[in-house]
């Protein structure tokens, strides 16, 4: 069993309050929290320390030491705890046994995570899948397929809940009955984009939604490059599926390299702007070209395991139209062309498309380019 980084305080609730308070002090980030904890032994001891004792901490500086000593915004601390209770979110300090071992090993780990869902020992077998929000049908299909197969093989899929590649990766892992972790650039109670609230709920039921930012924090642009170190830090390797030559996915890949983790990339067509970044990673030797999940598994050198649960089929609402129910029963996890669905159900294409649109509105089906549909 991994030993805690710091002694366990006898009063966990008081320690959590002190840790939250420390994180709300201006100028105190994860690095300074770690230094202060190492010096004083607990967050409670830090918040109770004298100005003189705080000022003696190397690198802290008089301004930050004073800000800690005079901190009195405990109403903001209580607001964080109220938000957490209201959204089913819990605080996970870096020294907690549940805190991911891989993340603890990076240069600048978060001092704690806000977590909605659960983390398990199996999440040590994690692969990040990242890419552009402005993805092509090819990119989304590949992200979903790779995540699905990784989930089937017992790997946890990590991504950032964004549009495009991220969402496809989470959906693929969920469809396989595997585990998936979403790392936010906002508070864990403030899902971004808002359209992914249902997806976040599904992820929390089959993994976890994580954030180092205070509850209620807005999805400000500077948050996302920094949260990317957590995506790569949680993972044994990062797969770049599709990325422009400048973007967050390449930042994640760079951070993975700095963390001494593997980087993989899927090739895109030569003239693809949305895949140019992934192609450059391969060309410059910064990522290993992969064509199948086998390439990733072999490079990581880990045995395969079965997913913790079998894929769950979403039960259709009882009030489905008879034609909607026929089409729902004909749909599969893998996309099928409209002609195949018509052949299975005996309906013409125009009729099937109307009722498939109804299934999409109900969140039971999704359409890809070329009139291909799959069950969500």
Residue-wise pLDDT for 237-259, tens only, equals 999 999 998 888 999 999 999 99
Q: Which residue has the higher pLDDT, 368 or 110?
A: 110
The confidence band for 349, taking pLDDT boundaries of 50, 70 and 90, is: confident
pLDDT tens digits for range 267-279? 998 888 888 999 9
296 and 333 both lie in a single domain: no
Residue 283 shares a structural domain with residue 335? no
Q: 98 exposed, middle or buried (CB, 10 Å; 0-12, 13-18, 19+)? A: middle
Sheet holding 372-375, edge to edge: 336-337, 372-375, 365-368
Lowest mean pLDDT among 76-80, 108-112, 353-357: 353-357
Q: Do 138 and 3 fall within a single domain?
A: no
Residue 101 domain-assigned (yes or no): no
Report the domain count for the chain. Answer: 3
CA dihedral 221→225→226→229, nearest 10 degrees, is: 150
The parent domain of residue 346 ranges over 322-375
- Average of pLDDT values for 330-350? 85
Q: Is residue 330 part of a domain?
A: yes
Give a yes or no: residue 313 inside a domain.
Answer: no
CATH of residue 334's domain is: 1.10.10.10
- Which pLDDT score, from 0 to 100, does residue 159 have? 98
What are 53-65's pLDDT values in tens digits? 999 998 898 999 9
Domain holding 289: CATH number?
A: 3.40.50.450
Rounded Cα distance, 192 and 374, in Å: 25
**Residues 344/353, Cβ–Cβ less than 8 Å:** no
Q: Are strands 207-211 and 112-117 parallel, antiparallel or unpaired?
A: antiparallel
Q: What is the pLDDT of residues 11-34, one digit of tens each?
A: 788 899 999 999 999 999 999 998
CATH number at residue 24: 1.10.150.20
Q: What's the confidence (pLDDT) of residue 272?
A: 87
194, 163 in Cβ contact below 8 A? no
What does the pLDDT look like over 296-337, one tens digit per residue?
999 998 776 655 444 445 566 677 888 888 888 888 876 788
Q: What residues contact 264, with CB distance under 8 A and at least 6 apart?
A: 237, 238, 239, 240, 287, 288, 289, 290, 295, 296, 299
- 133 phi and psi, to 5 degrees? -70, -30
Residues 149 and 288 in one domain: yes
CA-closest candidate to residue 202, choices 182, 216, 231, 187: 182
To the nearest 10 degrees (0 to 180), the angle between helices 276-283 and 248-258 is 30
Asked if the structure places residue 24 within a domain, the reply is yes
Q: Please check whether residue 311 lies inside any domain of the structure.
A: no
Q: Which of 265, 300, 335 is the last residue of a domain?
A: 300
In DSSP terms, 224 is beta-bridged to none
The fraction of the chain above a pLDDT of 90, given in percent, is: 69
Q: pLDDT value at position 310?
A: 46
DSSP class of 333: S
Six token digits for residue 176: 């396989």
Look at the pTM and tell me if it is higher than 0.85: no
């Amino acid at each position: 069993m991994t030993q805690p980084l710091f002694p366990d305080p006898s009063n966990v609730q008081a320690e959590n309050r002190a840790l939250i308070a420390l994180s709300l002090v201006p100028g105190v980030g994860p690095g300074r929290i770690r230094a202060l904890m190492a010096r004083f032994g607990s967050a409670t001891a830090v918040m109770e320390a004298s100005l003189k004792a705080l000022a003696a901490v190397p690198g802290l500086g008089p301004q930050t030491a004073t800000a800690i000593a005079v901190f009195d915004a405990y109403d903001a601390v209580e607001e964080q705890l109220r938000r957490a209770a209201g959204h089913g979110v819990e605080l996970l300090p870096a020294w907690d046994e549940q805190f991911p071992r891989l993340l603890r090993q990076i240069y600048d780990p978060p001092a704690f995570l806000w977590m909605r869902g659960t983390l398990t020992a199996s999440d040590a077998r994690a692969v990040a899948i990242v890419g552009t929000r402005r993805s092509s049908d090819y990119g989304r299909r590949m992200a979903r397929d790779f995540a699905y197969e990784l989930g089937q093989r017992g790997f946890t899929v990590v991504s950032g809940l964004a549009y495009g590649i991220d969402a496809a990766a989470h959906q693929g892992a969920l469809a396989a009955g595997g585990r998936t972790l979403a790392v936010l650039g906002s508070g864990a109670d403030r899902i971004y984009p808002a359209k992914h609230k249902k997806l976040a709920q599904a992820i929390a039921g089959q993994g976890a939604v994580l954030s180092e930012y205070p509850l209620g924090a807005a999805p400000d642009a500077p948050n996302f490059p920094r949260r990317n170190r957590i995506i790569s830090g949680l993972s044994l390797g990062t797969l770049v599926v599709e990325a422009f030559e400048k973007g967050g996915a390449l930042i994640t890949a760079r951070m993975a390299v700095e963390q001494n983790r593997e980087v993989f990339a899927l090739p895109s067509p030569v003239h693809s702007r949305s895949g140019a970044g992934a192609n450059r990673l391969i060309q410059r030797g910064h990522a290993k070209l992969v064509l199948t999940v086998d390439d990733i598994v072999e490079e990581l050198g880990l045995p395969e395991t079965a997913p913790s649960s079998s894929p769950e089929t979403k039960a259709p609402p009882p009030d489905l139209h008879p034609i909607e129910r026929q089409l729902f029963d004909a749909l599969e996890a893998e996309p099928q062309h409209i002609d195949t669905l018509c052949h299975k159900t005996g309906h013409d294409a125009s009729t099937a498309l109307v009722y498939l649109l109804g299934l999409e509105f109900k969140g039971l089906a999704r359409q890809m380019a070329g009139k291909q549909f799959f069950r969500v």
